[in-house]
Structure 1
Amino acid sequence: MKKVERKKRDIKSYYLMALFFTAIAAIIYGTCFAEKTIDYPALIKQNVPGITSIEKIVGTIRAYKIDAVGKRYYAVCDSAVGYQSRIETMTILTDKGLVEKVIVTRHAETPVFFDRLYSQKFFDQFKSLSLSEPIYLGGAYGYSGFLDGRQTENFIDRVTGSTVSSHAVAEAVNKGTLYIASQFFDKQWTNPYDIYQLNSKTLAMIVVFLIALIATFIKKISRFRIWWLLIIIGVMGFFVKEFVTANNLFSIVTLQIPRLTNLGWYVIMVGSLGFVVLFGKNIYCTWVCPFGAVQEFLNKAAGFKSLGISPQVTRILKLAAPTILWIAIMLGTWVGDYGTLDYQPFSAFFLFKAVWVMWLMLPIFIFISLFINRFYCQFFCPVGFILNLLNRWRNNGVRVWNQIWNRLWNGIWNQRCKTNKG
């Protein structure tokens, strides 16, 4: 019997190793070798009529001087990190220092969110804004570059539900316009997107993680867990609306990391990954994840008898999360867009926006969680799988290191004892 179990365990290990190494190879290929080359002069010709010449400006930023029939334009490219990827924009400006057009040249954001920028005509707002001062972002309290009641007409309004992407586009445009303003219009101003913003949502996240950390080590707090679940659902789910997703973790692997002005991103990443490294505990899934809290609260509130799952079925279901994650990575590499990683239920449940497949799956996950506690978390969540895997690697590494250190120390101590006796 033990030989059969060991054989099954070996097959599972080989399967997971195959998924891991092929996924890493796909990511390296997709990010380093399969990146699409953009023909910037051709893109300029598509958007500026009557062009007679395009001259690339020598410098650290990609910029062009454009001559058209009776007119001169400038085009500048820059980028900023959005929700899950770096968003690059090309800003075309007139010789009067006004924005003519903003074009997104590359991004890998979740389509269901980024498409809202187009459907709500977000980019049309940039038309005729001036580079003599920054372009602020209205309706984005707590974000760098926030309008904050300034007396200016040089601003755009963010798109509700896509604030992170709206902010990244505005930041990229500002970086580009500041370069053109200083080089050709003798204008200098402080970029507001370089200023830190500590808002109530970020503070709420910090408090949540600190309490979760305390609760992990003080077991008596567990008696209030049912109330804590309600707090997490309200605070992290409907107020903060920030979640650790496969997209976030993937952005770290591909080094698509936002600047420190996005403090909320760093709080949730340090709170999830940092606590794994420091304490060897997956605090996020257990105490902070709002969708996990929803499932556990409904399970406790319903009080139904738990459905028993056989060990054989459990072992098979445990392979679902890594397999689906692997498929998403492979599809993302194939199509050149890792928006395929956005298959989690957070946006559907808390933001009321998701792809149609998730709308079909969400009620199924919720219903089954009434009978099987945290059903989605146990068998399908890519974040839970990754954090638990990292946690296991970390603890195994610490255990091996301690064994090596103890052997070295005991060897040194024994050697000293022998020397002293001699």
Structure 2
Amino acid sequence: MKQSNNRGRTVSRPAINWAPWLGRLCWLSLLAAFVVGLVWRQPDHLLQLQEVFPGAEIQRLTEASGEQYRVLDENRALTVSLGQGQGYGGPLVTAVIVDERGRLQDTRLVSHKETPGYLFRFADGKFLRQFRGHMANSDFLLGQGVDALSGATLTSRGLTSSIRQGAHQAAMRLGLARSWAEPELHVGLKELLAVLLFVAAALSRRVPRAYQSRYNRVLSVASVLLIGYWLNSALSIALVGSMLLGYFPSPAQHPLWYIMLAGTLGSILLLGRNLYCSQLCPFHQIQKWLHRISGLNLALHPALKRRGKWLANGLLWLSTMLIFLSRTPAMGAYEPFSMLFSLDGLGVQWYLLPLSLLGAFVVSDFWCRLFCPLGRFLTLTLELRARGRRYLPGRLGIGRRS
């Protein structure tokens, strides 16, 4: 800025740098959204049950463990026990309806924070119906009398865990024998392959240069086929939102959830490398393939290139605000991954998928550079790690270059 002094001379005054103030405002708004969501979005289970049993008289059984209710509906006395499990995107609450003999009459989904694309597969009710007729003190273990829904294993585990918790609470109140088996940690082929993919990505720089290109091509194909389609575990901002909100599933039920997060964040914090975005993200790899097929390399407009970081930051901020205010991780997730890998999509994803794929034909890493909130979150984590190296003792080895 220029300003005239008393002698008529023009002097320069430095322009105000608004970026730091805008950054502080964003952090404060996120903190406020987290507190507001925590205070005002507490679930009212009694009101939710009233919607499930309209016109029924519902009383909470204060002497029972967990949340259990007596429902008087059409001259029937039922025990309704609420259980909670963890799906892919957040908690699921189910109502387990048990008669006086301890036999399950029905199960209902009361509330959830799950990603809609996964939960939509359960709309026909077939999965929930398989629990009817079982005694409340049964094991209720996925794969042992309970069949998972194909393509939605994590959601199936979450619903099963929720029903098991509610049924066992009711069994204890009714005095049934505590004969059920507890779930055990089961690490199978899927979990082993996920670990091996992260190890392979971490060792990629140690591969001799003559084999580097072939090695990276194999890793690229493996990430698309395994993480994208078979494991169906591409990371998203919804998964990060679950972590930030404290929605941590049982390690015994969701080991793959922990492997993906630990591998991604661990490589950033310990190695200083974003292995997921650079080598393991299946959507990133598909973009690379499309760009090579087209052979085009259209440069972004200079203004868009300069402001690309601001656009990605703004989308990340907006996603996180929606997640915190709603306490629902899926509310902030708009990535089109589920449409491509699980063939399910909702709302804006129908428009973003063709846009991102078309953009990848002409612009390298079109989605990653401009729109991906997860990529921006991981990049910010890398930047925070770099800043923290100045304050961490060198003897810990955390700040050393890998």
Counting only pairs closer than 5 Å after superposition, residues 378-397 of structure 1 correspond to structure 2 as 378-397=369-388
Closer/same/farther in 2, CA of residues 337 and 186 from structure 1, 3 Å limit: closer
Per-residue CA distance 1:84-129 (angstroms, 9 max, x = gap): 1111222110012111222233221122322332234433333322
Q: Structure 1 residue aligned with 2:150, among 132, 153, 160?
A: 160
TM-superposed CA distance for 1:132, in Å, is: 3.9
Counting only pairs closer than 5 Å after superposition, residues 11-410 of structure 1 correspond to structure 2 as 11-30=18-37, 32-40=38-46, 43=49, 47=53, 54=59, 56-66=61-71, 71-136=76-141, 145-147=142-144, 155-192=145-182, 194-216=183-205, 218=207, 220=209, 222-224=212-214, 225-261=216-252, 262-304=254-296, 306-332=297-323, 337-401=328-392
Question: Unaligned 5+ residue runs, structure 1?
Answer: 137-144, 148-154, 406-422
The count of residues paired between Structure 1 and Structure 2 equals 382
User: Which is worse superposed, 230-239 or 19-28?
Assistant: 19-28
User: Which is worse superposed, 99-108 or 243-252?
Assistant: 99-108
Per-residue CA distance 1:158-199 (angstroms, 9 max, x = gap): 33333322221111111121222233233222344x211112
Q: In structure 1, how many angstroms separate the alpha carbons of the residues matched to 2:121 and 2:291?
A: 35
TM-superposed CA distance for 1:329, in Å, is: 3.6
TM-superposed CA distance for 1:337, in Å, is: 4.0
TM-superposed CA distance for 1:368, in Å, is: 1.7
Q: In structure 1, how many angstroms separate the alpha carbons of the residues matched to 2:321 and 2:381?
A: 21
Q: In structure 2, how many angstroms separate the alpha carbons of the residues matched to 1:50 and 1:297?
A: 58
The amino acid across from 2:49 in the alignment is L
CA contact (8 A) 1:233 1:291 kept: yes
Closer/same/farther in 2, CA of residues 396 and 111 from structure 1, 3 Å limit: same
Relative contact order higher in (CA < 8 Å, ≥ 6 apart): 2
Closer/same/farther in 2, CA of residues 215 and 50 from structure 1, 3 Å limit: closer
CA contact (8 A) 1:216 1:283 kept: no
TM-superposed CA distance for 1:212, in Å, is: 0.3
CA contact (8 A) 2:34 2:325 kept: no
Q: In structure 2, how many angstroms separate the alpha carbons of the residues matched to 1:383 and 1:260?
A: 23
CA contact (8 A) 2:113 2:328 kept: yes
Closer/same/farther in 2, CA of residues 294 and 14 from structure 1, 3 Å limit: farther
CA contact (8 A) 1:79 1:86 kept: yes
Closer/same/farther in 2, CA of residues 217 and 247 from structure 1, 3 Å limit: farther
CA contact (8 A) 2:219 2:280 kept: no
* TM-score of the pair, normalised by structure 2: 0.85
Question: Unaligned 5+ residue runs, structure 2?
Answer: 2-11, 397-402
Name the Cα RMSD after superposition: 3.0
TM-superposed CA distance for 1:218, in Å, is: 4.8
The amino acid across from 2:179 in the alignment is W
Closer/same/farther in 2, CA of residues 404 and 199 from structure 1, 3 Å limit: closer
Identity %, equivalent residues: 20
* TM-score of the pair, normalised by structure 1: 0.81
CA contact (8 A) 1:174 1:191 kept: no
Closer/same/farther in 2, CA of residues 337 and 121 from structure 1, 3 Å limit: same
Q: In structure 2, how many angstroms separate the alpha carbons of the residues matched to 1:168 and 1:324?
A: 29
User: Which is worse superposed, 392-401 or 203-212?
Assistant: 392-401
Q: In structure 2, how many angstroms separate the alpha carbons of the residues matched to 1:62 and 1:176?
A: 8
Higher helix share: 1
CA contact (8 A) 1:198 1:263 kept: yes
Q: In structure 2, how many angstroms separate the alpha carbons of the residues matched to 1:239 and 1:160?
A: 11
Per-residue CA distance 1:275-327 (angstroms, 9 max, x = gap): 111111111111111101111122234322x1122543212122222212322
| Secondary structure of 2:95's aligned partner | strand
